[in-house]
Amino acid sequence: MPARVVTLQIDGRDVTARDDQMLIEVARESDIRIPKLCYVSGLSSYGGCRMCLVEVEGTSKLLAACTTAVTEGMQVRTVTPRLTEYRRMILEMLFAERNHVCSVCVSNGHCDMQWLAQHLGIDHIRFPYVYPNLPVDASHDRFVLDQNRCILCTRCVRVCQEIEGAHTWDVMGRGAQSLVITDLAQPWGESESCTSCGKCVQVCPTGALSEKGRSVAEMSKRREFLPYLTMMRGETGNE
| Single residue of 18, 47, 79, 138 touching another protein by CB under 8 A | 47
CA distances from 25 to 6, 15, 65, 155, 179 (A): 14, 12, 8, 17, 29
Nearer to another protein, 117 or 140 (CB): 117
CA angle 98, 210, 28 (to 5 degrees): 80
* Contact of 19 with 6, CB cutoff 8 Å: yes
- List the interface residues with another protein, window 93-152 (CB under 8 A): 93-94, 96-97, 126-128, 130, 151-152
| Alpha carbon distance 53, 67 (integer Å) | 10
| Alpha carbon distance 67, 70 (integer Å) | 10
Task: List beta partners, residue 10.
Answer: 13, 76
> CA 98 from chain center: how many Å?
16
| Alpha carbon distance 150, 94 (integer Å) | 10
Residue 3 interacts with another protein (CB under 8 A): yes or no = no
Nearer to another protein, 32 or 52 (CB): 52
| Single residue of 3, 136, 176, 231 touching another protein by CB under 8 A | 176
Residue 48 interacts with another protein (CB under 8 A): yes or no = yes
Residue 20 interacts with another protein (CB under 8 A): yes or no = no
| Alpha carbon distance 201, 159 (integer Å) | 10
Q: How far is the CB of 194 from another protein (least distance, A)?
A: 20
Q: How far is the CB of 153 from another protein (least distance, A)?
A: 9
Nearer to another protein, 18 or 214 (CB): 18
| Single residue of 9, 30, 41, 178 touching another protein by CB under 8 A | 178
In the complex, the residues that contact another protein under the rule CB under 8 A are 46-50, 53, 62, 64, 67-68, 86, 89-90, 93-94, 96-97, 126-128, 130, 151-152, 170-171, 173-178
